[in-house]
Structure 1
């Protein structure tokens, strides 16, 4: 009698090489596709540990909807009783900010090229009613070590929203989170625009617009839009770049530039100097070291600190709402 045909699994199509990283309920492995020897990254999600199945469904649906050169690609999906396997495009260049530091030479024009690609990717998401909600350096990757083609990754907090739908879940990363998220005011796609402004600021001078070791103080600065462009770091940055940031980092989301406004801003089309931004690379190197150290030390208590900090800014929330006429 013939043997019953065995149902094929992901291991029939991909050979796992090594572990690339590990999270609370997921492991990312380097693997090779058997059919053509193409290297891929496989995110293995343990369904028993992952309690937020809605977030997992959101991540998968968002990735399935995306076919953009600057967004990490989902090749295919496998599922077993206990695990979900996301077969992803492999990016080999590491984090964008680390790659910039290694360039040795970096100009405002380089910063603009990176920002343009990222803004174009966010515009693509917004056209498909997807809000990323967690734009930050750790989620900006580089395709290859030989270039700086940016790839937007990690759609774990992303969500598809209906027209006119307002979100209330507190999501994001301190330093990049928008004021309206902290105020529990309800928010939409504008939170991604705010984060783009923070990232652009860092791309230009190497440090963030909002920073404080005390999270409550940090959140208060964000809700007031309390940032500056100090000398000498900003002295050699163009006026149009400064103008764009000022029009993005606007506390009231209704007055914030949208993607169309960003893409049509003069800074994205004007001729820029090729002056090497030595100070930016120096500051960015320090910022990279600081954020990675803090990420390692504070990872366990981060969620609790976020909640405590939100509780401590209730008076500022009321001032924020009053300022918006709510």
Structure 2
């Protein structure tokens, strides 16, 4: 500490906390004062002030003390994705505490596992600046390895992270192949435990109409998973979740995302899924680090067909095939998986299935016409995906959903001359054989896999492949983002109408400066829930129906709970029904009420920006009362 050269009567050290204990000692004389701190700790960091005072006044001097130490180890074990006989990708999470000094790099360590399960640890990489690493040398085909990570700051290295699971490299025979999976699980819903008994729930990965998806880590192994949390408060939501789990028990295939566990903790149902880190396929394609060719597109389409073929062999139809449901296994490889089986159904020849759901651009004509669907309903969607993959344009995109649906119903489309200038006739024939309005004329999965175009991957020369333009694909993705914000824009308009500001909110066309507009929209669309219509107090007779209605707004869309006298209200015995519509209307219905249903009912709306509450009283009157 610095010395103050005054002749004061009094010295005093000040800090944001009391300096007591054997670790703190003050030494000094009539001319100086020294604060000694032994065995320093991170909590000792802060601003220290020495005040010197005599009869004429006082003076002070301040300084900042920073106590740094080695960082904590990375929070979980590294995730490993094998790419080929000698290469793989590692990814991991940073430490929970950096030791008070920024992380400068990571050290990756590897252990080759012997037949006895043992082996020595060696340094694989010492200067990794990010939380992922592609390893392309030093690994042997069919050898077994495990990995661990250390974090480094200005002080030194952390202890090692939890070790990864043991992985086996691919064999060297022939072209790289997918290992036979050993983690296929027939899931039985666990009603005795909570998901938090076995997993740590980390950051939110996404939001859907069903609920939320969170990143999970297994408490024992540290392995990363995704948790799909269904709201499950209404009977139909719970039934949908259970149906999806049942279907996924029949879909054990490398190209289909796997459900590995499920928990039913009323009112919530949680599906534990494979964690797929690579993001959407189309987002990968527009990345500047990846080449996009017709040949690479063949590889993607074959994988999609392989996954759908397995579904169709189980007589299961996906009914929601679209680009956002085709994802990459990791951030560097080329393997994909099909996700989201929330709309999938098992076909029954004795009971024709008609549905009224799907995404306008990708839905087949028979769905719009409310005609029975079949396995080739998925093949139409695959044809649309392939068209966009090769051209960056959507064959049925209209100026509105209504116009898009009309174009699909009429099966009106064509190959844009400019967009398909460099595309082979084989590819065009492949698409044409799928986009057939008559379901009987469409190719099946087996026929698509044996089509001359999908067979070209094995014989084509990779060096001769021509790069396809990504510009139109980028515009397509930008339009998709705008469609996803459509609901948000409606909410923005509602907020604008409710606002007391005199300046109206202007929504800019998505044609120009799309990214800037999206960012601006996102910034303006942050609002905690607000009830713009509250329920009224009710008096009803026994055995009648009581209904409370309110209207909530906010963005992101709030989660809604109904409570009775402060306790969460559950749907049970058909008496209690909760409805929450997409426009923000919340309805609580009580059928055949009794005197015991009297009480105060509250609707609680919550999102990341806050919460709101509104209440009303229901008084049930004896029906024999005059």
Q: Is 1:141 aligned to 2:141, yes or no?
A: no
SS at match of 2:286: helix
Give the corresponding residue for 1:35.
220
- CA deviation after TM superposition for structure 1 residue 165, in Å: 4.0
Whether the 8 Å CA contact 1:25–1:50 is kept in 2: the answer is no
- Deviations 1:75-134 (Å, cap 9, x if unpaired)? 111111211110000011111100111144111010000000001100100101111000
Root mean square deviation of aligned Cα: 1.9
CA contact (8 A) 2:411 2:436 kept: yes
Q: Does 1:121 align with 2:307?
A: yes
Aligned to 2:163: none
Q: Aligned residue for 1:241?
A: 427
Higher relative contact order (CA 8 A, sep 6+): 1
Question: How far did 1:164 drift?
Answer: 5.4
Structure 1: distance between partners of 2:350 and 2:252: 25
Q: What is the rounded CA distance, in whole Å, between the counterparts of 1:191 and 1:53 in structure 2?
A: 26
The number of residues matched between the two structures is 296
Correspondence for 2:201: 16
Residues 78-157 of structure 1 correspond to what in structure 2 (within 5 A)? 78-102=263-287, 103-157=289-343
Matched residues in 2 for 1:42 and 1:57: separation?
Answer: 15
* Residue of structure 2 in register with 1:287 after alignment: 476
Over residues 8-41 of structure 1, what are the superposed CA-to-partner deviations in whole Å (9 max), with x where a residue is unaligned? 4321211112111223441111110112110000
For the residue of structure 2 that corresponds to 1:237, the secondary structure is: coil
After TM superposition, the structure 1 = structure 2 runs for residues 268-283 of structure 1, keeping only pairs within 5 Å, are: 268-270=454-456, 271-272=459-460, 274-279=464-469, 281-283=470-472
* The structure with more helix, counted as a fraction of residues: 1
For the residue of structure 1 that corresponds to 2:201, the secondary structure is strand
For residue 453 of structure 2, give the secondary structure of its aligned residue in structure 1.
Answer: helix
Question: Which residues in structure 2 correspond to 1:222-241 (within 5 Å)?
Answer: 222-241=408-427
Q: Which 10-residue stretch deviates more, 267-276 or 142-151?
A: 267-276
Structure 1 unaligned residues grouped into runs of 5+: 1-6, 305-326
> What do residues 230-260 of structure 1 show as CA deviations (whole Å, max 9, x unaligned)?
1221111111110111111000101111111
Q: How does 1:167-246 map to 2 (within 5 A)?
A: 167-246=353-432
Q: In the alignment, is the contact (CA less than 8 A) between 2:241 and 2:269 conserved in 1?
A: no
Q: Give matches, 1:290-301, under 5 Å.
A: 290-298=479-487
- Structure 2 CA distance for partners of 1:194 and 1:25, relative to 1, 3 Å: closer
Alignment check: 8 A CA contact 1:72 1:151 kept? yes
The TM-score normalised by the length of structure 2 is: 0.46
Give me the whole-angstrom Cα distance separating, in 2, the residues matched to 1:137 and 1:282.
17
CA 150–299 in structure 1, closer or farther in 2 if over 3 Å, else same: farther
Distance 1:134 1:23, change over 3 A: same
Post-superposition shift, 1:49?
Answer: 5.0
Shift of 1:299: 6.6
The equivalent of 1:67 in structure 2 is: 252
Of 59-68 and 161-170, more deviation after overlay is shown by: 161-170
The answer to whether the Cα contact below 8 Å between 2:193 and 2:263 also exists between their aligned partners in 1 is: no
For 1:4, the equivalent position in structure 2 comes to none
8 A Cα contact 1:143 1:150, kept in partner: yes
Change (3 A) 1:62 1:210: same
Residues 105 and 276 in structure 1, CA contact (< 8 A), matched pair in contact too: no
Displacement of 1:272 in angstroms is 4.1
The SS at the match of 1:105 is: coil
Answer whether contact 1:58 1:160 (CA < 8 A) is retained. no
CA contact (8 A) 1:44 1:84 kept: yes
Structure 1 residues 267 and 221 mapped into 2: Cα distance closer, same or farther (>3 Å)? same
The residue that corresponds to 2:521 in the other structure is: none
Unaligned 5+ residue runs, structure 2?
A: 1-191, 491-580, 583-626
Give the structure with the larger strand fraction. 2
Larger radius of gyration: 2
